[in-house]
Structure 1
């Protein structure tokens, strides 16, 4: 990546979002944190903005990213949206603790939002205090770096800023922090829901055309741009959740107000990457019904897309029946897109050639069904054996076929239980044309050595609360390059400690 030459003072922001009608937002300055200090900065994100990380003054960044100073051209605002929370529509939502500072055009030609999370109360805070805490900021900061490292679409963060200020969370005082989030888009499904359910259809049309112009400009040339937009969002959302499922990521709060219109992982809360596979895993202790359990995430995403598609009813056709029919025709494709994306990802993780590249492609449908069954059988085995997901896939990607049964003994309670599966797996690999060396190389590019385990984030948080930020920065280095071994930090390549199973996550996480 080319290093930019900009300094913080020279960073110019535009007010692109303010092209929308005023009821979309509230203009409000941030409430600055006291005694701000830099916890961590992501140099990769700095370079995307055209900044030179080596020229960034730590205290100056702390002032800009804590609300004490504003970037040139910034006119902060809180966005209004609504959404379905755990299946129930809530009209009283919006940016209650974050502000869109403005947008910046990077050297790559991408217009990115700069968003200050933890910036104080807004008109949409309801009973909240408008603050973020160090704990949740560290989790989002590391999670977004981990996702980017894995190649999963995500928002990112330039930095975390700490402070001597405190607020109460679950009856305990915690140190405040801000996080400077960076992404091309902060528009959620909930932005459309707000305008649709409040019957502001003219503004709904304006928002739709704004999204098409900024994020999907080629769609303006189609016969029905709003319909083409929902089609694209369905495709991206299906691909996103397929990646979550392939890497064992549990979002935790898949409410529609946490869904991005460009298909990114958005609003990290009580998320987790599973250590051992558990289909029913729930990462949010507030999700008593298991609505967003791991295995339900594809269905939850489809449900959210139905909520979004409803908002497009007055946009795709003047006739309600025609509009409903057109939208349902698009939504019905979600499952097929998801299944194909997921199959492709899992084939890559297992080193299986696709139907098109296999030497035996006389019946690709049968091959796909065989592969799906092989994958399903593997997950079932991993769950029953309580086998570490990350260690298992990395072992497969580093071990020749002749040694895999033996090597499983090092990470599995009962390696003999995998004997039949391995036999079928090896038979499937034999139908391909790749050499073993090439196959293992390809697998190592998609099977990480390091994943953000809950215990890793927890240890970093506990040290940060004691004033030691070194663990946050260590983990950032690992997670940005998760497929490479870091010899100086070998402890993170192993399994999670037993005590980590007791880590409890909530929406305040």
Structure 2
């Protein structure tokens, strides 16, 4: 399927929709030139999903355009402004300190997708930074976003990676620089509304909300209550997204309001990680010293972020502040039952349990404490349980229990509630990946690439993570939990 509006020889990035926003919401400027760029990888699978030809993306013109080495005549690259609560503390001006929004491309089904460069040089929002990204950071984002996409979780994607041919200083050493070419349904964040509210007041928030509704929530644009409906729609998407994260053991690590996309996509994969052994209070991020963004905290933080969005929208709800607050509370109130239902139903699918009885629900509620008490790997447990449900040996699962008798007792109870019909088994497999982006594998791929110029593992992971529910024989080793000496205890932004 090929986009009828796009020649395979021409640049498909055809418009810049954000310049219709108030001028204070962005700064027009071109990326910084790269010293000696090379195209590290082009995500041909994603390009094909968009219905585009890969030909332009592999051309010299594409390399120049995506590395900053282009005159940009006729193009309108910008850096976007936004605010954000970072670990609970408000920063009135953040913005794209190392990113440039090139514009949008049109997919074969008529949708417009943002194309942004990360690591493309300084902007007015750089705050003393060099505006560049490390090769390790863009590899991490590529692998995690491909893992998310393979799992069916809404996410930004990586269209290509470009090495700049330059070395940049990080942690008192020189490391290779690179640029990520990122795509997204939208780069608008809760922090975008916070910036519009603090900088431009009611008129700015209204312009931004109207833009967001027109572009991303057209089903509500004709409603008289479109602004409250917008808050509710964002709340429901956040509830769905965070439940999906938690059901695969994913910890975002930096759920600041500037990292909360209003369209419900996963965005900004810095010190994120998938859990190995299950721990409800697990934290990987080196900068999350108070466990604010632990696995079990993510729903609460999602709701807290929505409260910050609601504060900016109050002037659009009602001139009477009390009435506006009541409206906001009602709309974001939709988040809690939506999340609870999505998470509970998702956990039941992972267990192959269709029953709605109180006894079944009590059993489901106790499964994660069992995993924590027994120090069981989250992904391996549910993958093995799926194998048992499909007729495999119970030993596949029992080997993960420290206490074998406890494991046998748990399996006996599970069989009382589990279902064997094909629909339930299919749903169970589709809820339980056999492969995730293991932290130790991601770190090794980064080390191999940055220290030895070896991209073998990076390419293996990139391909394997596209199909996480079916693992080929040659990739069985990628399923393995880390040995004690391989465990990653802390993850870093690495920007």
TM-score for the superposition, normalised by structure 2: 0.95
Contact 1:396 1:404 in 2 (8 A): no
Give the CA deviation at 1:215.
Answer: 0.5
Secondary structure (helix, strand or coil) at the match of 2:412 reads: helix
1:292-312 CA-to-partner distances (Å, cap 9, x unmatched) read 111111111111110010111
2:393 matches 1:410: no
Of 449, 453, 460, the residue aligned with 1:474 is 460
In 2: Cα distance, 1:123 partner to 1:309 partner: 28
1:462 aligns to what?
447
2:494 aligns to what?
508
Secondary structure (helix, strand or coil) at the match of 2:166 reads: strand
1:440 aligns to what?
425
Give the CA deviation at 1:166.
Answer: 1.3
2:417 matches 1:428: yes
1:201–1:55: structure 2 CA closer, same or farther, 3 Å change rule? Answer: closer
2:409 matches 1:449: no
2:481 aligns to what?
495
2:293 matches 1:287: no
1:64 aligns to what?
65
Secondary structure (helix, strand or coil) at the match of 2:402 reads: coil
2:253 matches 1:252: yes
In 2: Cα distance, 1:290 partner to 1:25 partner: 33
Superposition pairs of residues 84-123 of structure 1, within 5 angstroms:
84-123=85-124
Secondary structure (helix, strand or coil) at the match of 2:376 reads: coil
1:230-274 CA-to-partner distances (Å, cap 9, x unmatched) read 000000001111111111100000000000010111111100000
More displaced 10-residue stretch of structure 1: 118-127 or 480-489: 480-489
Contact 1:12 1:71 in 2 (8 A): no
- Across the two proteins, how many residue pairs are aligned to each other? 492
1:394 aligns to what?
383
Contact 1:12 1:72 in 2 (8 A): no
Secondary structure (helix, strand or coil) at the match of 2:365 reads: helix
Contact 1:166 1:174 in 2 (8 A): yes
Contact 1:114 1:181 in 2 (8 A): yes
In 2: Cα distance, 1:163 partner to 1:104 partner: 23
1:90-141 CA-to-partner distances (Å, cap 9, x unmatched) read 0120000001100111102111000000110001111111011111100101
Superposition pairs of residues 165-314 of structure 1, within 5 angstroms:
165-314=166-315
For structure 1, the residue ranges without an aligned partner over 5 or more in a row are 359-363
2:363 matches 1:374: yes
Contact 1:236 1:263 in 2 (8 A): yes
Contact 1:155 1:183 in 2 (8 A): yes
More displaced 10-residue stretch of structure 1: 293-302 or 44-53: 44-53
1:347 aligns to what?
348
1:8–1:117: structure 2 CA closer, same or farther, 3 Å change rule? Answer: farther
2:182 matches 1:156: no
Contact 2:162 2:179 in 1 (8 A): yes
1:403–1:183: structure 2 CA closer, same or farther, 3 Å change rule? Answer: closer
1:507–1:271: structure 2 CA closer, same or farther, 3 Å change rule? Answer: same
Secondary structure (helix, strand or coil) at the match of 1:205 reads: helix
Contact 1:38 1:59 in 2 (8 A): no
Secondary structure (helix, strand or coil) at the match of 1:96 reads: coil
